[in-house]
Structures are given as structure tokens and as C-alpha cells.
Amino acid sequence: MQTKQMASLWLLIIFSLSLLCFHGRSQNTKPQEPEYECVDIYKQPSLLHPQLKNHQIQMRPSDEFLAMLSGDTSAENLSDDEMVAEFDIPEEGCPQGQVPIHKPRNLNHTEKPFQPINGYGTVGQHAAIMKKIDAIPWRGASAWISIYQPKLRNKEQFSMALIWLNTENQGERTSAQFGWAVIPALYGDYRTRLTAYWSPDKLENGCYNTKCKGFVQIDRRIFLGAGFSKTSVVGGTQFKAFFSINQDPKTKNLLLTVGKIYIGYWPEELLPYFFNGAEAVIYGGFTNAPSENIQLFNIVSPPMGNGNKPLDEEVDLKHTCYMHSLKYVTPDYKSVDIDSDKVTEVADAGKCYDVIYFDKLGQYGQAFTFGGPGGYCDV
């Protein structure tokens, strides 16, 4: 009797171990769901927009555009502790003739753009920025931006570092924004990702990346929503990328590039107010905390940049988030350094965030540092 019991016990143990092994194999071999889908470049969602019915895809920037940006993307002056940021996506990208379109993790995500009023945000929204103060119709802007991963407290917060073009028509502000962001409500995680926002008429009618029909994807590998593989370490290795958002002199489309990679564009048919250029150029950091039906003393804003406020003595650019080699595009399509006499620093919640501008900071040219820990900024 005892022998039968022992045999049954051993059979039970062996069966249990086999289940564990099988379960372990199934977990390890289960393919991870890709973050994007490859679609025919001519059948991507944006080209279904009724205003783009006869649109001809701009496969490459014009020669005039390339001449305008020549030299701006150079990474020859990287110091020993600086590296050009890369993306955590397969090297091969999509097959020839197809492009990647990001698949948001939260399809029910409600867009909540940052809505500055005279450079300041609404309750729960804050900025630390450099802003051009002359009302000339600019054709674009660019900068090198350090890549960080601010630690958000909950999925309703977001933190961004963007280049921002604004224009207004009859009191309606339209916008095109490009940089990096941590937006868990959109992406389903807390990673730093390549991010853009645009609005065709009113700011609240816009969307992130390709969630609404508008942005035309061109590159077969890098796409809006792509995650960065590594981010900067405070006081250590700095990862940075060159971002540009510029109007093509020939087509008038608004092109996005990272380094020398032409990602795609917003067609000029969908941005009629930008045809003559943007009225405002903004560089900097932006944060959001949920504010609906919450008392002011309970609103906790997230960190901006790397969570540190900038200090004058930290000009080695290792300790706070930064942008450098700031340039904008003139009405006659020339990429030039910003004029230090025609920009202003804005930090609407000084106890939480700050911004410090440096005029011609050595090899970095026009530069500024920005960011802060966040906290109870609205009290």
C-alpha cells in the first residue's frame, strides 16, 4: 500500500514539473506584439483624408531644404560622454514600399494638448521655455535635445521636451510640435518616445502622432511613437538627438527630421495657416497633471527634463536637460542662429521648474537648460 502511495506521489511530482516546464516554455517563446504595423506607403491612413485625395507624396526633401539644413545635423563635436540617441526598433524596418505606423496601446486615450496662454499653461499644465518675441513668420526651427526619462507618478501625467511652432488666424491658434515625450495614457508605458502633436485649425482638434489623419510617414524604420533605446544619466553619459521641424521651400509641406533621417511630413493642404510661416517659435519643456474635479492643493505635477532645476554653474550640460544649437528658419528659408536679443525665458511655476539661457555656449552655440522636480506647483 505504501509503495502505491509513493508511486502516485512521484507521478504527481513529475506531472507538476512537466506543467511548469511547459508553462515556462510557452511564456518565453510567446512573440511580443509589435508596436507598429507595416502598411503600403500609398495606403497609409493619412492619405485617406478627403483633402489629400489628389496629394502627391513627397518621397524626399527638396534640394533647397537639404541645403538649408546642411551642417546643422553634424555630430562631429561630440564630447567623450555624449552619444547620438538611437531607437529601440528592428534595424531592417518595414519592407520596401511599406512604412511603419505606430499602434497606440490605449485606443481610448483622450487627447489633452498643452494649451499655453501667452506662454503660460492652464491649471495643472506648466512650461519652462525659450520663446521668440518678434512677430516674423518663421519657416521652421531646430535644435539638439538631450534625451531623458522623467519619472512620472501616475499614468495621467505627461512630461515633454518639444520644438513648437504656432500661428493664429481669427483668434484660433494652430500648432505643430516635435520632440520627445513620456505619455503613459497614450503609449501604455513610461518610456521616452519620439512624439509629435499637430492641429489643423483649433488646438483641441489636433492629435498626437498619427492618431488622426494628417501626418504622412516616409521613413521605413523610424516612426512617431518609437521608443529610445537609452536615455541620459545625470552627471554621466548624455544621449541627444537633432530635431527639426521645417517648411520645405519648394512644396511648403512641414517636414520632420531626426538627425539626417527624413521621417515624414504634414501636407501643406492640411495646414493652411502655416503657408506663410509660423508666428511663434517655442523651445522647451512642458508638463501636465490631472486637474479635473481636483482641488488645487492636491494637484501634483510631474518632473520635467531629468527632474533637476538648472543652475548657472552647470554649463557642462550634464546635470539638467538641455537644448543647444538653437536655430530657426527665416522667411527666405535660411537656417540661422536665434538672436539672443529677441528671445525670452518663461517658467510659469518657478518653485517647480526653471530655464536658463546661455548665449553662445562654446561649441554648443545658443543653448539653454530647463526642468525641475515638479510637485505642488499650483498652490
Side-chain-facing half-sphere of 134: CA atoms under 13 Å: 12
From the centroid of its chain, how far is CA 306?
Answer: 15
**Minimal CA–CA distance to 225: which of 194, 200, 248?**
194
**What distance separates the 2 farthest-apart alpha carbons in the chain?**
97
Band of the pLDDT at 112, cuts 50, 70, 90? low
Write down the pLDDT at residue 204: 65
Q: What are phi and psi of 148, to 5 degrees?
A: -125, 170
Query: In this predicted model, what pLDDT tens digit does every residue of 38-84 receive, in sequence order?
Result: 999 999 999 998 999 899 999 999 999 998 887 677 766 777 789 99
Write down the pLDDT at residue 225: 95
Residue 127 CB burial class (10 angstroms; 0-12, 13-18, ≥19): buried
Distance CA 142, CA 73 (A): 9
Band of the pLDDT at 103, cuts 50, 70, 90? confident
Residue 347, H or E segment: strand 343-347
Residues 6 or more apart whose Cβ sits within 8 Å of residue 233: none
Write down the pLDDT at residue 290: 78
Domain spans in the chain, listed from the N-terminal domain onward? 31-371
Give the angle 281-287-291 at the CA atoms, nearest 5°: 125
Kindly provide the b/e burial profile for residues 240-272, where b requires at least 16 CB atoms within 10 angstroms of the residue's own CB.
bbbbbbbbbbebbbbbbbbbeebbbbbbbbbbe
Band of the pLDDT at 202, cuts 50, 70, 90? low
Model confidence at 296: pLDDT above 60:
yes
Following CA atoms 86, 88, 91, 92 in sequence, which dihedral angle do they give, to the nearest 10 degrees? -140
Give the angle 128-182-374 at the CA atoms, nearest 5°: 45
DSSP percent split of the chain into helix, strand, coil, nearest 5: 20, 35, 50
- N-to-C CA span, the chain: 76
pTM attached to this predicted model: 0.87
Model confidence at 13: pLDDT above 50:
no
Which residues are bridge partners to 138 per DSSP? 278
Alpha helix positions (H), the chain: 2-29, 63-69, 184-187
C-alpha cell at 95: 519592407
Query: In this predicted model, what pLDDT tens digit does every residue of 147-161 receive, in sequence order?
Result: 999 999 998 899 999
**Minimal CA–CA distance to 101: which of 191, 198, 196, 222?**
222
Query: In this predicted model, what pLDDT tens digit does every residue of 300-359 receive, in sequence order?
Result: 999 999 999 998 766 778 889 999 999 999 899 999 888 888 888 999 888 999 999 998
Distance CA 219, CA 158 (A): 27
171: left (phi over 0), alpha (psi -120 to 50) or beta: left
Distance CA 317, CA 120 (A): 25
Write down the pLDDT at residue 299: 87
Mean pLDDT estimate for the chain: 83
Residue 196 CB burial class (10 angstroms; 0-12, 13-18, ≥19): buried
Which residues are bridge partners to 316 per DSSP? none
The mean-pLDDT minimum among 9-13, 22-26, 164-168 falls in 22-26
Distance CA 311, CA 177 (A): 27
Write down the pLDDT at residue 327: 92
Band of the pLDDT at 19, cuts 50, 70, 90? very low
